[in-house]
Chains A and B, each alone.
Chain A
Amino acid sequence: MSYEIPMGPYHPGLEEPYKLNMICEGETVKDAKLHIGFNFRGIEHLAETRNYIQVIALMERVCGICSFIHTLTLCQAMEKLTGLTPPPRAQYIRVIMGELERLHSHVLWAGIAAKLMGFKTMFMTCFEIREKVMDVLQAISGNRVNYAMNRIGGVNRDIQDPLSILAMVEALENEMTRTIIPIFTTSKTATSRCAGIGVLTTERARSLGVVGPVARASGIGQDLRKEAPYAAYAEMDFSVPVVPDGDVRARLLVRALEIMESCKILRQALAKLPPGEIAPPGDSSKFSFVTGTATARVEAPRGEVMYSVSWKEGARMPSRVHVRTPTYVNMPAVRFMVQGARLADTPLIQAAVDPCYSCTDR
């Protein structure tokens, strides 16, 4: 006999509100349905009521974890409509902020995954390290969450002393190499809870169009930083980790390896930070847009973010802003990941996607 077990919209295993209705037979999940929209804020509609300065602050609030990435994507789209190109130093600062945000997001996820595994010591270690990443972000931007770094044509704040930031990054890398990476890759606790569960095959991953670490953990080596480089990524030497297994452990491994690649990118960007301006000269409050639609994509910590922005010449406000976030395409895959899984594994399986409902319910 089958029965339905709802998880959410408010549940200790979920960080944000959504609902997973699971059809079970005994302890085995046979199928699941997802419901979202509990946090829907109508941000795309609100964007049409904000001018070109205000809309950046608004879109920064789509997500509290990858707020920098959202303004970066929006600004890149608006730069196409204004014809502005950020100076090289600003492009490097964008890479540095983007990678710090990836570090902080991946370590946050590692902490949450550790908590769901029942590995509380690891949870506390991850959050301690995450605090140090947040300290670096605060040292650069003055803020811990919404950094207000991006503007049309550049960035708002310079990195005055890249060598001191480099020292902080090296200290972080050492701690991660010593604690998080070995524990997640070799610990029996982590392996026994993660190996072989929540499998997403390569074929299904392609069919669903999943992105980011979820795709790379299912053997699909897509990464916009390599395939369609933006900011200064074309000048960075780094690898895209790909693991073919498709299970929770593969997602964990991909993120662990990405932490190391992010540190590698950060070291290069900080060492090579070019001199010069961080924004184009002239009045920073006046921009002229051409009529049309521009689209930009960025590789966020959870995968591809895409913004389509439409403007009419002479207007101060966009006529349309459409946001496609990574969780929006990754989350439907949870239905297939939980099929055949034990009920007790489902909180960890859904968490392995690193879902962000702030983004999804934009």
Chain B
Amino acid sequence: MSTAESIPKPASVDPGPYSEKGGVFWYGDSGLNVRDAARAMNAVGARFITITTYELPASGGFRLEYHWDLMGRLLGFTFPLAANTVESIYDLCEAADWIEREIHEEYRIDFTGREYEPLLLREGGVCGVNLQKEVAQ
């Protein structure tokens, strides 16, 4: 059995096949949305690690990569964002709180379904000014 095949799959949501690349077991085109992916990871007892944001060139929006750890193996889901919004997983995964707030402040991405409190920014700070290229220019 390969390492990828030995990763337990949740009974309720099938995340589809894995492919290993760059040190991560990536879920392929599973068709899951971000909340279903979080539910699938919760179901197998995976630990949330972080969300990495990529700003695509020529205002092509963003790509978010969600990382989870399961028994020492790094699992990844990729979600392209056409607009600057994505559903929050904070209610499903408490550990996502700070990184969602940070991405909101750094890239002006809105995680819907949650409330924000300032994390990095002080009063008068502008969302997106730190890292989002469009705003920085």
A77 at interface, CB cutoff 8 A: yes
Distance between Cα atoms of A81 and B21 in the complex (Å): 10
- Compute how far the CA of A77 lies from the CA of B52 in the bound complex, rounded to whole angstroms: 15
Please tell me if the beta carbons of B130 and A208 are within 8 angstroms of each other in the complex: no
CB pair B52 A308 closer than 8 Å = yes
CB nearest to B96 among chain A residues: A209
Cβ-defined contact, A36 with B73, below 8 A: no
Assuming A37-B120, A45-B130, is B48 touching A80 (CB within 8 A)?
no
Of B8-16, B27-35, B64-72, the segment with at least 4 beta carbons within 8 Å of chain A is B64-72
Mark each residue of chain B from 46 to 76: 1 if its CB lies under 8 Å from any CB of chain A, else 0.
0111101110000000000101010111101
Give chain B interface residues in 112-133, CB to chain A under 8 Å.
117-122, 130-131
| Count of A-B residue pairs with CB < 8 Å | 86
Shortest CB–CB separation between residue A9 and chain B, in angstroms? 10
A358 at the interface (CB under 8 A from B): no
Residues of B within 8 A of A45 (CB): 130-131
Partner of A35, one of B47, B67, B118: B118
Q: How many residues of B contact A (CB 8 A)?
A: 33
Known: A209-B95, A295-B74, A332-B98. A81 touches B22 (CB 8 A): yes
Asked if B71 and A332 make an inter-chain contact with CB atoms under 8 angstroms apart, the answer reads no
Looking at A86-94, A116-124, A165-173, A322-330, the stretch in contact with chain B turns out to be: A322-330
What's the least CB distance linking B95 to chain A, in Å?
A: 3
Q: List 28 A-B contacts (CB under 8 A).
A: A37-B121, A40-B120, A42-B130, A45-B130, A80-B22, A80-B23, A209-B49, A209-B93, A209-B94, A222-B69, A224-B72, A227-B71, A227-B72, A292-B22, A293-B22, A294-B23, A295-B22, A295-B67, A310-B54, A320-B52, A322-B52, A322-B53, A324-B67, A328-B99, A329-B49, A329-B95, A329-B98, A332-B95
